Amino acid sequence: MAPRGREPIVPLPPAASGAPGQRAEHAAGLMTLEKMIALVGERDPRVLVSELSARAAHERAAKAWAGHYPQLSVEYALGREGNWNAQGGPTSLSSVNTDNFHGGQVNLSWELYAWGATQKRYEEAYALAKAEEDRYRRAWDLIVMEAISTYVNMYRLRKQLEITRQTLLGHSKLLKVVEDRVGAKLAPESRRSDALLRVQEIMADREDILSQLNEVDTTYRTLTGLEPPADLAEPQLAKEYEAKLACLSFDDNLKLAYSIHPQIQANLRTIEAAAYAVEGMKAERLPKFNLYARYNNNRLFSTQGSTLPFTGRGYEIGVNVVWTLFGSAYGNSIAERIFLKEKSEADNERAVREVERNIHIARDALAAAKGRTAILDETLRLSDEVLNQRQHSFSVQAMSDEAVNGLSNAYYSRARAATALLNLHMREVVASYTLVESSGLMNEVFPAPLSVRGPIGPAPVRNFFPGRVASMNPADGMPLERNVMPDLLTRKVVLTDGMSTTAEPQSGTAPAPASSAGGVPASAFDAATARSLEVPPVMLSPAREAPLDNGSPQPPAGDAQAPAAATGTTP
């Protein structure tokens, strides 16, 4: 049996939810937190952004490793050359010669010793690539936490909406009784005003819940690309918390987070890369020893055939020393990298404090929830007991003012107790996942989605072609169709009277009916309403109202419809 206040949601028929013409695309079956996170992982572009950043960083590391290899180049020339000679004097002589030539040259350059500068450049690039891998895992953790928050809020607000609907139904029945007593001169007019005020307060709470639910539904559509599901499974505590973290002390929890949290690991690798950058720049100041070799083969022959072809071959091999003594501002470059290293250390300190704070808050929330759950369970039990007593007194005391006030307070107390227990359980669920994320275990609970490009890892040195993984998109990196723009950017919007011709209503609030005086209907009850007051309303397990439904909630069979609100919105 589920704990009190945590019964599953019973939805209305699908036809009752959604606006006319709205896309009705839902995931098959009961929506669970695991299903939602899987949908988000398949669609969220932030996953792809982080993955491609890590892959690009590994390609940069491979390019830095290529600095260890000899650099080989080939040159070839083909052409014609000509000259004109003239000699002055008593006898002028002139000659014109044109020759064809072609030749080639092979060059080889290999860095022999640079005081470790090349290796340090590679170590820096590789450390940054590993940091990008950690940032990829961190980005996935944040996406999962956003999905968890959206799912939990959607479940919580739907349950709160049902609690509010049932509370409003009970007070609406009481309002009808008070109106009858005022009409029969058995109660002053102020009693009717008090009852109306309580109904208005409940309806204001309902509108606030609907507004929040609309925002959560929009977030769900953005994350998954689907309409909000009709059925939601109740979110439970994180399994990794119950299996691994609940038995750890605070200090052990911190040690675990320091050793595996992806943000801390990314910062540590960035600090390592900055240290390599400082050492590499210091090595750049020193002389570099390079092996060089060159071989050429040139051929020159006359077009007139007056001279024999000339062929020249030669080679060079040796070691050269390059030492830049002035003009490269090495001191500024070293200082820049020192500052960047200290900045990375400060970033890591900030991340460590944030992780420590989140672990503190999550553990305190989970510890407090254990004690408060028992208190709120007892409060809900007592509110049920008081509600039954007040309903009995209401029927015995012939609907007196005291009985009406007592039953109204009982309805209100029951709703507050049920809402408090629901909110506590949802905070406990979020705190458990927050603790898992802050401890660095989120990837064990919800692993990052597998990429079609395969696992992320070191890239080999490629001299000519980018490889199959980098060739999965069009060669120029652009869409196959040119001038492709989103529909929202190309659609022409025509404004008339300050409103777009394509505008659709976004709010779940209907306009106030003209027949209401001052926004308050005279009465919307029938005789069955007063007769049904002795039946205690079920607060948490009746048919749930659709989140975005503009229609009035349907009470159980035999009950009357709830009255229209003073704002004109149907409850």
Domain of 315, CATH number, reads 2.20.200
- 313-324 pLDDT, tens digit per residue, is 888 888 888 888
Residue 434 shares a structural domain with residue 340: yes
* Over residues 326-349, mean pLDDT: 89
- CA gap 387, 375 in Å, rounded: 18
Choose from 13-22, 320-329, 387-396 the range with maximum mean pLDDT.
320-329
More confident residue, 120 or 408: 120
- Nearby residues of 549 by Cβ (< 8 Å), 6 or more positions away: 12, 16, 17, 18, 508
Q: Of 55, 26, 35, nearest to 129 (Cα)?
A: 55
More confident residue, 472 or 133: 133
- 252-301 pLDDT, tens digit per residue, is 999 999 999 999 999 999 999 999 999 998 888 888 898 888 888 877 66
Q: Of 310, 341, 279, nearest to 103 (Cα)?
A: 310
Cα-based distances in Å from 222 to 39, 140, 212: 11, 16, 16
Residue 415 shares a structural domain with residue 540: yes
Q: Give the 3-state DSSP-derived string for 198-235, with helices as H, strands as E and coil as C.
A: HHHHHHHHHHHHHHHHHHHHHHHHHHHCCCCCCCECCC
pLDDT at 492: 53
Residue 520 pLDDT grade (very low, low, confident, very high; cuts 50, 70, 90): very low
Half-sphere exposure of 86 (CA within 13 A, CB side): 2
| 67 pLDDT above the threshold of 60 | yes
pLDDT at 301: 61
Q: Of 207, 166, 180, nearest to 512 (Cα)?
A: 207
Q: What is the CATH classification number for the domain harbouring 279?
A: 1.20.1600.10
**The total number of structural domains that make up the chain:** 2
Contact 538, 8 (CB under 8 A): no
Residue 132 shares a structural domain with residue 160: yes
Averaged pLDDT score across all residues of the chain: 77
Domain assignment present for 469: no
- Nearby residues of 136 by Cβ (< 8 Å), 6 or more positions away: 50, 51, 53, 54, 448, 456
* Over residues 369-387, mean pLDDT: 84
Residue 404 shares a structural domain with residue 527: yes
Residue 418 shares a structural domain with residue 523: yes
Query: Taking the chain, what is the end-to-end CA distance rounded to the nearest angstrom?
Result: 30
Residue 147 pLDDT grade (very low, low, confident, very high; cuts 50, 70, 90): very high
| 5 pLDDT above the threshold of 50 | no
| 532 pLDDT above the threshold of 70 | no
Cα 156 from chain centroid?
20
Domain assignment present for 474: no
- Nearby residues of 218 by Cβ (< 8 Å), 6 or more positions away: none
pLDDT at 556: 40
- CA gap 570, 566 in Å, rounded: 9
* Over residues 409-423, mean pLDDT: 88
Residue 40 pLDDT grade (very low, low, confident, very high; cuts 50, 70, 90): very high
Domain assignment present for 486: no
Last residue of a domain, one of 302, 322, 342: 322
Residue 135 shares a structural domain with residue 155: yes
- CA gap 97, 83 in Å, rounded: 5
Domain assignment present for 470: no
Residue 565 pLDDT grade (very low, low, confident, very high; cuts 50, 70, 90): very low
Half-sphere exposure of 485 (CA within 13 A, CB side): 6
More confident residue, 476 or 421: 421
Q: Helix 250-260 crosses helix 262-284 at what angle (to 10 degrees)?
A: 50
Residue 87 pLDDT grade (very low, low, confident, very high; cuts 50, 70, 90): low
Domain assignment present for 462: no
Strands 543-544 and 10-11: parallel
Domain assignment present for 280: yes
| 545 pLDDT above the threshold of 70 | no
Tokens of 475: 């060669």
Contact 554, 12 (CB under 8 A): yes
Least confident of 128-142, 150-164, 376-390, 463-477: 463-477
Tokens of 87: 């000699």
Q: Dihedral of the CA atoms 16, 17, 22, 26 (nearest 10)?
A: -120
| 88 pLDDT above the threshold of 80 | no
Q: What stretches of 234-337 adopt beta strand conformation (E)? A: 288-302, 310-322
Choose from 130-134, 197-201, 540-544 the range with maximum mean pLDDT.
130-134
Domain assignment present for 484: no
Residue 256 shares a structural domain with residue 310: no
pLDDT at 111: 87
Residue type, 280: G
**Which residues are bridge partners to 322 per DSSP?**
288
Q: Where are the alpha helices (DSSP H) in 108-116?
A: none
Give the H/E segment covering residue 76.
Answer: strand 71-87
pLDDT at 302: 56
Would you list the DSSP string of 135-191?
HHHHHHHHHHHHHHHHHHHHHHHHHHHHHHHHHHHHHHHHHHHHHHHHHTTSS-HHH
Give the H/E segment covering residue 451.
Answer: none
More confident residue, 183 or 52: 52
φ/ψ of 538, rounded to 5, equals -80, 120
| 370 pLDDT above the threshold of 80 | yes
Residue 260 shares a structural domain with residue 398: yes
Residue 208 shares a structural domain with residue 195: yes
Residue 152 shares a structural domain with residue 295: no
Give the H/E segment covering residue 569.
Answer: none
Contact 456, 133 (CB under 8 A): yes
Contact 514, 568 (CB under 8 A): no
| 345 pLDDT above the threshold of 70 | yes
Last residue of a domain, one of 271, 302, 322: 322
Give percent above pLDDT 70 in the chain: 71
Q: How many CB atoms are located within 10 Å of the residue 3 CB? A: 12
Q: Torsion-angle region of residue 508: left (phi > 0), alpha (psi -120 to 50) or beta?
A: alpha
Domain assignment present for 490: no
* Over residues 115-127, mean pLDDT: 92
| 388 pLDDT above the threshold of 80 | no
More confident residue, 51 or 516: 51
Q: Of 521, 522, 532, 497, nearest to 570 (Cα)?
A: 521
Residue 326 pLDDT grade (very low, low, confident, very high; cuts 50, 70, 90): confident
Helix, strand, coil in percent for the chain, rounding step 5: 55, 15, 35
Choose from 2-16, 210-224, 465-479 the range with maximum mean pLDDT.
210-224
**Which residues are bridge partners to 301 per DSSP?**
100
Tally the residues of the chain.
Answer: 571
Residue 402 shares a structural domain with residue 343: yes
Residue 214 shares a structural domain with residue 108: no
Q: Which residue shows structure tokens 């590679």? A: 122
**Which residues are bridge partners to 295 per DSSP?**
106, 315
- Nearby residues of 524 by Cβ (< 8 Å), 6 or more positions away: 172, 561, 562, 563, 564
Choose from 184-193, 238-247, 405-414 the range with maximum mean pLDDT.
238-247
pLDDT at 399: 65
Residue 563 pLDDT grade (very low, low, confident, very high; cuts 50, 70, 90): very low
Contact 264, 348 (CB under 8 A): yes
| 23 pLDDT above the threshold of 50 | no
Residue type, 520: V
Give the H/E segment covering residue 95.
Answer: strand 93-113
Q: Which is it for the CA torsion 190, 193, 197, 203, positive or negative?
A: positive
pLDDT at 310: 63
Give percent above pLDDT 90 in the chain: 36
pLDDT at 303: 54
- CA gap 438, 245 in Å, rounded: 11
Domain that residue 105 falls in: 70-82+94-113+288-322
- Burial class of 425 by CB neighbour count within 10 A (0 to 12, 13 to 18, 19+): buried
